[in-house]
Amino acid sequence: MIDLYYWPTPNGCKVTILLHELDVPYRLIPLDIGRGDQFEREFAKISPNRRMPAIVDFGPTDGGDPIAIFESGAILMYLAEKYDRFLPTSERYRYDVLQWLMWQMGGLGPMCGQAHHFRQYVNTPVPYASERYTNEVNRLYGVLDSRLADREYIAGEYSIVDMACWPWIKPYKGQGQNLDDFAYLKRWFLTINKRPKVREGWNVGREWLNGGPVVTEQSKAILFGQTAVRD
Ligand SMILES: N[C@@H](CCC(=O)N[C@@H](CS)C(=O)NCC(=O)O)C(=O)O
């Protein structure tokens, strides 16, 4: 069995989408980041960064002790390798997936996160930061659009990198973007949007938000302004 520590955010949904695409059973452990569940000491043993998603696999293929993994990109790679799907084995195609996965983890995700932060969550507007991150997201959308001009999916075949990028494009309006400006990206987005397993994964735990945003006025004090924790 796999335990998934989860809250319905884009990084969390990457993992539920893959688990649903794989039809793998898992135990969902809600980790309410707006309430501060991520700061529980026990959770830091699983996710030293005190962020979700994280998994614990109680049935690793080597038959040994349970394996705990944090960082959504590493979780996607682990599950794709374990179940031998959505990550090609041939070097050329494998590194097509992996380089774009690194691009998502190091670029698209963090920049979109900052765009959301400065456009929606700050109480005192910071126009320079808002413009800076909106423009950078726009640049990254352009990179993905060009990549998709001559292929259906980011690495040719549908793979974990599509599952990693799609949840970050889904809230494009909050990032100040217009998909009509990116024809190839829009076509890809709508194709993935139609996949039943993607919709299932995206909807996991959505009812916990009661129709509201992930970040609320109450949760801002918990989420923003964190400094080093020394146990
Ligand atoms: N690079 C990490 C980012 C994880 C992350 O930032 N998770 C957010 C939600 S999407 C979180 O747990 N936030 C809690 C907090 O900021 O305290 C990943 O992709 O797993």
Shared domain for 46 and 73, answered yes or no, is yes
pLDDT at position 162 is: 98
Shared domain for 99 and 162, answered yes or no, is yes
| Distance from residue 36's CA to the centre of ligand 1 (Å) | 12
Looking at the 3D structure of the chain, how many domains does it have?
2
**Taking each helix axis from N to C terminus, what angle separates 183-193 and 160-169, rounded to the nearest 10 degrees?**
110
| Distance from residue 9's CA to the centre of ligand 1 (Å) | 8
Query: Would residue 230 count as lying in a domain?
Result: no
**CATH code, 127:** 1.20.1050.10
The two three-digit tokens of residue 110, written as one number: 């963090």
pLDDT in tens, the chain (231 residues): 999 999 999 999 999 999 999 999 999 999 999 999 999 999 999 999 999 999 999 999 999 999 999 999 999 999 999 999 999 999 999 999 999 999 999 999 999 999 999 999 999 999 999 999 999 999 999 999 999 999 999 999 999 999 999 999 999 999 999 999 999 999 999 999 999 999 999 999 999 998 888 888 889 989 998 999 887
Shared domain for 29 and 116, answered yes or no, is no
Query: Would residue 204 count as lying in a domain?
Result: no
| Euclidean distance between CA atoms 100 and 211, whole angstroms | 32
Structural domain for 161, as ranges:
91-194
Is 71 close to ligand 1, i.e. is its CB under 6 Å away? yes
HSE-up of 126 (CA within 13 Å, CB side)? 13
- Separation of CA 111 from chain center: 13
Helices (H), 87-203: 91-103, 109-116, 127-147, 160-169, 183-193, 196-203
**CATH code, 30:** 3.40.30.10
Task: Collect all residues with Cβ–Cβ distance below 8 Å to 124 and sequence separation of at least 6.
Answer: none
Shared domain for 106 and 172, answered yes or no, is yes
Residue 9 alpha carbon, nearest atom of ligand 1: 10
Query: Would residue 200 count as lying in a domain?
Result: no
Shared domain for 139 and 174, answered yes or no, is yes
